[in-house]
C-alpha cells in the first residue's frame, strides 16, 4: 500500500492531521495501536473533565455549608460516573471513526515502525503490513514515565491511567507531582472524601507557574485539609502490605491506601525505530524538529512527541500547520503564538503566554498589574474569593496573563486574544465588559497600577 500521507497516532494532533489531509484530497492512512482519540480523549483531558464536571456540586456545597448558607450532603457513584464517562468516550471515538471513514481515511490498527525513510511497517496480532508514503506525520504523543524506585505497579502505586479505573475512592491518596494531573485528580478524589497528600520535589505547587500562583494554591488547599509536601524529593514509592508507602530522601515515610504518580511523561517514540528514517531524538526520545516541524525529509513530528508543548491544543495547532506545509499552503516557519494552558477543578489556574521567569530569561523587563478576586462580585457569589488575575507587561503591551481561583479557566479565550494581539492599556476600553462577570477581574487587572516584576 502507498499513501500520500500516513499519520501515526490518533490523538488530537493525529486526528486533526488525518481529517485535514483527507479533506485536502490526499490519500491518507491513520495508524493507531490502541483506541482512537489517544491520551487526551481516553486517559487525559476528557476523562478528568468528565470526573470534575460530574462532581462539581460538591465543592460549591462545601463552600456554602462553611458560610452556613446551605446544608446537605452528596454521595457520588463512582462506577456510574465511570460508565457515563466511558459511554461518552465510546460515542466520541465512534463519531471520529465515522468522520475518518466518510473522508476515506484508512485506519490501520497496529504499531508503526520505520523501515526506511520512505516506508514503514504496521504490526498487529494478525501480522505485519508494509506501508509506503510520500509524507508522514508522527503524532504518537507521550505516556506516563516511571522514575527508578517510583514505578507504578497498578496495585497501590498508580499512574494517571490506572487511577481512572478505580471503582472506589481510596480513603487516602498520596499524589506525587503538583502539576495539572496531580492537582486535578486530587481535587476529584477529595470531593469523594479521600484524604489527599500532595508531594512535589520543586518548592511550589503548580511549579511551572509564577510562585504567587503556587502560594495561593497552597493557602486554598491547606484550608481544604490537604497534606502538602513541597521541595522534598521522593526516594521510593512502593506497595507494602496492601498500602502505598512513600519514602522521602530524608528517610521519612508516608503511608496511604493508594498513591498516584503524576509527575513526568515520556515521548512515545521508541517503537517507531526513528533512526531507520533518519529521525533524531533527544533525552527520553523526544523527536527533534526543525522550524517546519520536520523531523526528517517528508516526515513531520507534531504534538507531545516533539517535546515542544505537551498540550492537546498545541498538537491540534501543529497538525493544521503540518498539513498546510505538506500540501504547499504555507512555507513559513511554524509559530504557535501565545499558548493557553489551564489547570481545572474548583480552584483553577489559567495562563496564556510565558510566565514571568520565562519572559525575564528572554531578556524582557516585565511589569505586572494584578486584581484580586475578592473584589469581584461573581467570586463573592460563589464564596470562593481567594485568587487573582495578573497581567505581564513588556514595553506597555500585554505579553502574558495568569490567573488562579474559582472559575478562572473561563477567562482563557479572551486572555488568549488579548495576549496574541499584545493589547496596550487603551485597548481595554475598545470593548464593553459585561457586568457582572468574573471577566471584570481581568479588566481590572489590565487597568491596575503596574509594578516591576
Q: How far is the CB of 314 from a second copy (least distance, A)?
A: 7
Residue 314 marked in a binding site: no
Q: How far is the CB of 202 from a second copy (least distance, A)?
A: 24
The number of beta carbons lying within 10 Å of the beta carbon of residue 140 is 30
Cβ–Cβ under 8 Å, residues 111 and 274: no
DSSP letter for 230, please.
Answer: E
Residue 74 marked in a binding site: no
C-beta closer to a second copy: residue 64 or 129? 64
C-beta closer to a second copy: residue 26 or 441? 441
Q: How far is the CB of 419 from a second copy (least distance, A)?
A: 9
Residue 210 marked in a binding site: no
Select which of 292, 313, 410, 435 is catalytic: 435
Closest CA to 201 of 223, 175, 220, 226: 175
Segment holding 239, helix H or strand E: strand 234-240
The number of beta carbons lying within 10 Å of the beta carbon of residue 101 is 11
Residue 86 marked in a binding site: no
Q: How far is the CB of 378 from a second copy (least distance, A)?
A: 6
Residue 337 marked in a binding site: no
Taking each helix axis as running N to C, give the angle between helix 45-54 and helix 180-191, from 0 to 180 degrees, rounded to the nearest 10.
30
Q: How far is the CB of 315 from a second copy (least distance, A)?
A: 9
C-beta closer to a second copy: residue 45 or 131? 45
DSSP letter for 334, please.
Answer: P
Residue 140 marked in a binding site: yes
C-beta closer to a second copy: residue 255 or 330? 330
Closest CA to 155 of 79, 239, 236: 239
Cβ–Cβ under 8 Å, residues 348 and 406: yes
Q: Which residues is 112 bridged to in the sheet?
A: 122
Segment holding 403, helix H or strand E: strand 397-405
C-beta closer to a second copy: residue 182 or 338? 338
CB neighbour list of residue 35: distance below 8 Å, 6 or more residues apart: 41, 42, 89, 93
Residue 49 marked in a binding site: yes
From the number of C-beta atoms within 10 Å of its C-beta (0-12, 13-18, 19+), residue 88 rates as middle
Is residue 325 flagged as an active site residue?
no
Catalytic residues: 435
Residues flagged as binding site for FAD: 49, 140-142, 304
Residues flagged as binding site: 49, 140-142, 177-184, 200, 264, 304
Residues flagged as binding site for NAD(+): 177-184, 200, 264
Amino acid at each position: 500500500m502507498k499513501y500520500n500521507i500516513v499519520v501515526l497516532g490518533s490523538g488530537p494532533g493525529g486526528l486533526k492531521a488525518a481529517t485535514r489531509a483527507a479533506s485536502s484530497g490526499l490519500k491518507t492512512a491513520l495508524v493507531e495501536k490502541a483506541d482512537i482519540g489517544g491520551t487526551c480523549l481516553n486517559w487525559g483531558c476528557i476523562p478528568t473533565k468528565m470526573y470534575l464536571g460530574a462532581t462539581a456540586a460538591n465543592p460549591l456545597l462545601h463552600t456554602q455549608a462553611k458560610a452556613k448558607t446551605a446544608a446537605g450532603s452528596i454521595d457520588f457513584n463512582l462506577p456510574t460516573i465511570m460508565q457515563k464517562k466511558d459511554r461518552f468516550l465510546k460515542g466520541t471515538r465512534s463519531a471520529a471513526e465515522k468522520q475518518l471513514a466518510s473522508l476515506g481515511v484508512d485506519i490501520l490498527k497496529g504499531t508503526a515502525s520505520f523501515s526506511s525513510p520512505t516506508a514503514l511497517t504496521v504490526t498487529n496480532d494478525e501480522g505485519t503490513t508494509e506501508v509506503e508514503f510520500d509524507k508522514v506525520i508522527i503524532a504518537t504523543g507521550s505516556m506516563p514515565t516511571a522514575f527508578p524506585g517510583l514505578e507504578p505497579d497498578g496495585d497501590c502505586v498508580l499512574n494517571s491511567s490506572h487511577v481512572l479505573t478505580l471503582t472506589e475512592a481510596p480513603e487516602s491518596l498520596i499524589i506525587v507531582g503538583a502539576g495539572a494531573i496531580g492537582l486535578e485528580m486530587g481535587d476529584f478524589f477529595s470531593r469523594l472524601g479521600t484524604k489527599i497528600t500532595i508531594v512535589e520535589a520543586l518548592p511550589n505547587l503548580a511549579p511551572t507557574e509564577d510562585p504567587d500562583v503556587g502560594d495561593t494554591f497552597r493557602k486554598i488547599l491547606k484550608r481544604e485539609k490537604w497534606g502538602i509536601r513541597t521541595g522534598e524529593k521522593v526516594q521510593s514509592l512502593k506497595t507494602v502490605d496492601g498500602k502505598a508507602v512513600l519514602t522521602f530522601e530524608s528517610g521519612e515515610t508516608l503511608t496511604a491506601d493508594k498513591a498516584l504518580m503524576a509527575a513526568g511523561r515520556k515521548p512515545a517514540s521508541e517503537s517507531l525505530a526513528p533512526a531507520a528514517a533518519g529521525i533524531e531524538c533527544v533525552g527520553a526520545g523526544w523527536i527533534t524538529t526543525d522550524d517546519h516541524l520536520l523531523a526528517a525529509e517528508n516526515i513531520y513530528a507534531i504534538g507531545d512527541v516533539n517535546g515542544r508543548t505537551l498540550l492537546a491544543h498545541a498538537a491540534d495547532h501543529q497538525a493544521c500547520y503540518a498539513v498546510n506545509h505538506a500540501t504547499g499552503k504555507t512555507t513559513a516557519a511554524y509559530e504557535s503564538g501565545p499558548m493557553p494552558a489551564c489547570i481545572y477543578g474548583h480552584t483553577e489556574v489559567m495562563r496564556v503566554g510565558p510566565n514571568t521567569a520565562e519572559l525575564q530569561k528572554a531578556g524582557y523587563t516585565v511589569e505586572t498589574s494584578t486584581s484580586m478576586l475578592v473584589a469581584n462580585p461573581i467570586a463573592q457569589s460563589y464564596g470562593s474569593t481567594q485568587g487573582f488575575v495578573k497581567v505581564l507587561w513588556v514595553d506597555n503591551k500585554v505579553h502574558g496573563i495568569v490567573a488562579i481561583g474559582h472559575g478562572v479557566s473561563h477567562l482563557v479565550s479572551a486572555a488568549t486574544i488579548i495576549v496574541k494581539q499584545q493589547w496596550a492599556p487603551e485597548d481595554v476600553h475598545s470593548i464593553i465588559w459585561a457586568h457582572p462577570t468574573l471577566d471584570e477581574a481581568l479588566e481590572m487587572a489590565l487597568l491596575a497600577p503596574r509594578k516591576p516584576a
